[in-house]
């Protein structure tokens, strides 16, 4: 379990993404990210998961934000999949409920090898408008796309729900923080099960 790190790159006609991940980091996010609110979410994810993430994101933002954000989810998921290897010694599943002012978000994850996402964040789909002449609004509907990409790349099962809330900003941020804490628990090393595959099958199904 000494080298739980990975690097993945994805280059298409729509996006160019290069990211490195250390599961046993200190919460540092050093990613060149052209979408301000999305950068804030990745920073929150790293901080609460204690993951170190670095690299750069670029894409066809003249079209919209969908391609970049979905592909980033795919790459982030692939990083977790690669860094975890055969999943030996981890708890495998994790759960967290995160309160953020008016919002209460819940996330549960199982790195069991089968991708599935249940997502109900109660978002309005109205873009979040940011200030400043060089700033861009954030397309809130891409949050679902991000996590769909993540579960496909990570080959994990994830359930995300916003139980209550008023502000879309708070709902999205609470989702990223709840997911980070749930994932942090799931990928943590179980001292009672070092080197043991966390499945009665003796292997994690892929």
Could you tell me if residue 121 is inside a domain?
yes
Could you tell me if residue 88 is inside a domain?
yes
- Could you list the residue range(s) of the whole structural domain that residue 156 is in? 5-187
Could you tell me if residue 198 is inside a domain?
no
Question: Which of 159, 181, 187 minimizes the C-alpha distance to 49?
Answer: 181
Number of domains in the chain: 1
CA distance 118 to 149: 12
Q: What is the CATH number of the domain that holds 107?
A: 3.30.230.40
Could you tell me if residue 18 is inside a domain?
yes
Q: What pLDDT, in 10s, does the model give residues 141-153?
A: 999 999 999 999 9
**Across 61-79, average pLDDT:** 96
Could you tell me if residue 200 is inside a domain?
no
Could you tell me if residue 179 is inside a domain?
yes
Could you tell me if residue 206 is inside a domain?
no
Global pTM reads 0.94
Confidence of residue 200 (pLDDT cuts 50, 70, 90): confident
Q: What pLDDT, in 10s, does the model give residues 164-185?
A: 999 999 999 999 999 999 999 9
């Amino acid at each position: 379990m000494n080298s739980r790190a990975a690097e993945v790159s994805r280059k298409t006609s729509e996006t160019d993404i290069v990211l490195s991940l250390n599961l046993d980091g200190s919460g540092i996010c050093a990613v060149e990210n052209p979408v301000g609110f999305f950068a804030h979410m990745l920073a929150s994810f790293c901080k609460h998961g204690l993951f170190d993430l670095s690299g750069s994101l670029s894409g066809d933002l003249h079209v919209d934000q969908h391609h970049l954000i979905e592909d980033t989810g795919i790459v982030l998921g692939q990083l977790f999949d690669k860094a975890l290897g055969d999943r030996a010694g981890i708890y495998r599943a994790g759960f967290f409920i995160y309160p953020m002012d008016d919002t209460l978000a819940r996330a549960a994850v199982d790195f069991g090898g089968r991708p599935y996402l249940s997502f109900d964040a109660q978002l309005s789909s109205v873009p979040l408008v940011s200030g400043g002449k060089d700033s861009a609004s954030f397309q809130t509907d891409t949050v679902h796309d991000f996590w769909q990409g993540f579960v496909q790349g990570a080959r994990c099962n994830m359930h995300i729900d916003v139980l209550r809330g008023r502000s879309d900003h708070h709902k999205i941020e609470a989702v990223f923080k709840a997911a980070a804490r749930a994932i942090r628990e799931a990928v943590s090393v179980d001292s009672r099960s070092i080197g043991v595959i966390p499945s009665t099958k003796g292997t994690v199904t892929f």
